[in-house]
Amino acid sequence: MKEKIIQLKKALSKATMIDESAIADKIKAIGYNCLRCAKCCMEDYGDNTVSVFPSEIRRISEKTGLKWEDVAVPAPSEDRDDAGNIHTFEWVLKKNGDCAFLDNGLCRIYECRPYICSTYPFYLLEERLMVSECEGIGYAISDEDAMKMAALLKKRYIAEIRESIALLEKFRGFNPGGRGNICIHDSQGEHWIYFNDSGKI
Ligand code: SF4
């Protein structure tokens, strides 16, 4: 665990040095324009799971007035402790097949949508720019928009590493004993909740 935290801290230090202009140049070369097809939000077109940090859930809750459990649920997991409780390491946005926030093809939480949504179809992996499947790829993008996307990708990458470090620093193993049947381990510690198979808390 200590070794992993050390690796992540090194990755964090490298992440802060990422050259946004170089990422923006790559985005410009690839080209991207959101066509508002909303396919990335729909289950018919592939995995539309959106992982969210606790801070993102809180922000969406504040902006929408929705309760935490109406915004996100624990990510599915096969990990169990000796008492049979499930342990998971992520929250994901609620879905009803399609994302629960998709309304007539539009995002109801557009202004506070999570990083994964605002940076789609791009992400950084070991500081390299990666691209997911998207119909908007190949369209011209302005310098300004490419820079904005690059800055957001760097911010997201740094946030992901920080979340992982905080999670590992607080992780105390798969110990039973909380009030609930599922434990979500995140950057804030352990959250024990009752959760049934139909996805209700
Ligand atoms: S939060 Fe908005 S952009 Fe993200 S998947 Fe849901 S509807 Fe789509």
CA distance 169 to 26: 35
Give yes or no for residue 152 CB within 6 A of ligand 1. Answer: no
Helix or strand run (H / E) with residue 5: helix 2-15
Would you call the peptide bond into 76 cis, given omega within 30 degrees of 0 as the criterion?
A: no
- Long-range contacts of range 73-79, CB-CB < 8 Å, 24 or more positions apart? 73/195, 73/199, 73/201, 74/182, 74/184, 74/193, 74/195, 75/49, 75/51, 79/174
Walking along the chain (201 residues) 10 residues at a time, the average pLDDT comes out as: 95 97 98 96 96 97 95 94 94 96 96 97 97 97 98 98 97 86 95 74 51
pLDDT of residue 196: 72
pLDDT at residue 36, rounded to an integer = 94
pLDDT at 177 (0 to 100) = 77
Greatest Cα pair distance, the chain, in angstroms, is 55
* Residue 43 confidence (pLDDT): 96
Q: Is 99 in the pocket of ligand 1 (CB under 6 A)?
A: yes
Give the separation between CA 12 and CA 6, rounded to whole angstroms. 10
Query: CB of 107 closer than 6 A to ligand 1?
Result: yes
- Give the mutation target among 117, 134, 152, 156 for probing the ligand 1 site: most ligand atoms within 8 A of CB: 117
Distance between alpha carbon 50 and the CA centroid of its chain, in Å? 5
Per-residue tokens: 28: 């410009």
Pocket test for ligand 1, best of 56, 57, 109, 134 (most atoms within 8 A of CB): 109
> What pLDDT does residue 198 have?
56
Question: In this structure, how many other beta carbons lie within 10 angstroms of the beta carbon of residue 167?
Answer: 18
Q: What is the pLDDT of residue 197?
A: 60
Atom 1 of ligand 1 has which residue's CA nearest to it?
Answer: 113
Residue with the smallest CA separation from ligand 1 atom 4 is 117
- The answer to whether the beta carbons of residues 180 and 85 sit under 8 Å apart is yes
